[in-house]
Structure 1
């Protein structure tokens, strides 16, 4: 069973370089302001999602286990 994730993007930080979209293209997209948004939190394997969060140059992405609340990646874990 796939892990149920809660993925958020901090729009006050996001600079729209699209690294997350390159790492996990089925999860992330760019909106009209060229900022990342989550289009499908289950679109790619958790490994690719965590890679996308880790590659964000401004640590704007937070990934949590939606069932347990465990933070898998955030700027505090970076």
Structure 2
């Protein structure tokens, strides 16, 4: 799975950081999204997907989504 962030579209709402702080951060300079990793771990897929859906500016894109296999 790969995450893309469009910093030009980002409005700095911080929903991604609140939802998946291990994957997203905000720049101290302009408050826009900063990716901590472009390739999150499989156990982070659901929270990353939720962050993508919650982004009010639609500045996040998730490609190659793979869900962890159920037990």
Q: State the TM bucket, normalised to the shorter chain.
A: 0.7 to 0.9
TM-score of the aligned structures, taking structure 1 as reference length: 0.71
Structure 2 unmatched runs, 5+: 66-71
C-alpha distance in structure 1 between counterparts of 2:11 and 2:52, whole Å: 13
1:30 aligns with 2:30: no
TM-score of the aligned structures, taking structure 2 as reference length: 0.78
* Larger RCO (CA under 8 A, 6+ residues apart): 2
Aligned length: 62
| Contact persistence 2:2–2:40 (CA under 8 A) | no
Q: Which residue of 1 aligns with 2:54?
A: 55
Task: Identify the structure with the greater strand proportion.
Answer: 1
Structure 1 unmatched runs, 5+: 66-71, 73-78
